[in-house]
Amino acid sequence: MTFIFNDGGRASAGFHGRAGDCVVRAIAIATGKPYREVYDALNALATTERIGRRKRKISNSRSGVYPQTYSRYLRSLGWQWTPTMSIGSGCKVHLRASELPPGALIVRLSRHLTAVIDGELHDTHDCSRAGTRCVYGYFVQPYQNFNAPSDRVIRKA
């Protein structure tokens, strides 16, 4: 898989230094939204999270976002989750261009989210482990049919 360095617009948004912001980067790259917009939207959603015994703190765009939070955000944008692995099934799909569909994908890996666009890995580092990294699933934007009939009625003379 071809690796392309892409910070998702983090540097141009004025952020410096290292951060655990793979969720924000992957979403910004795949959706084409500005980094700052995604960053702020995820932090706003995090304020509605509940904490408990197992979950001690809420999500933070800089240090990590829980899967439930970024899933809610992506579903609100119209993206759909496609699982590639279930409990006890073992690894079926790897981070390889030949095993993923074409188009813009937000791919979930172990403790990481990355963007794959038409078989090219867009991230700040090559996280593919030479094509052996297991894919838990991916978000994809459903196909929009632009050839569907519109509201206008065209009359032939």
Query: Over the stretch 65-82, which tens digit does the pLDDT of each residue have?
Result: 999 999 999 999 999 999
Is the CB of residue 31 less than 8 Å from the CB of residue 77?
yes
pLDDT in tens, 11-33: 999 999 889 999 999 999 999 99
Band of residue 55 on the pLDDT scale cut at 50, 70, 90 = confident
Does residue 27 lie in a domain region? yes
First CA to last CA distance, the chain:
54
Does residue 151 lie in a domain region? no
| Domain membership of residue 12 as a residue range | 2-140
Please tell me the least confidently modeled range out of 48-57, 58-67, 71-80, 128-137.
48-57
Does residue 146 lie in a domain region? no
**pLDDT given at position 150:** 44
Distance, in Å, from the CA atom of 141 to the CA atom of 14, rounded to the nearest integer, reads: 28
Does residue 145 lie in a domain region? no
Q: Rounded mean pLDDT of 58-62?
A: 91
Q: Vertex 110, ends 105 and 113: CA angle to 5°?
A: 35
**pLDDT given at position 154:** 46
Residues 6+ apart with CB under 8 A from 58: 46, 47, 49, 51
Does residue 28 lie in a domain region? yes
| CA 63 to chain CA centroid, nearest Å | 16
Look at strands 104-109 and 112-117 and give their pairing.
Answer: antiparallel
Domain count, the chain: 1
Does residue 34 lie in a domain region? yes
Does residue 154 lie in a domain region? no
Distance, in Å, from the CA atom of 137 to the CA atom of 79, rounded to the nearest integer, reads: 13
For residue 127, pLDDT over 60 is answered with yes
153 burial type by CB count under 10 A (0-12 exposed, 13-18 middle, 19+ buried):
exposed
pLDDT in tens, 35-54: 999 999 999 999 998 888 88
Does residue 80 lie in a domain region? yes
pLDDT in tens, 78-119: 999 999 999 889 999 999 999 999 999 999 999 999 999 999
Q: Is the model more confident about 47 or about 157? A: 47
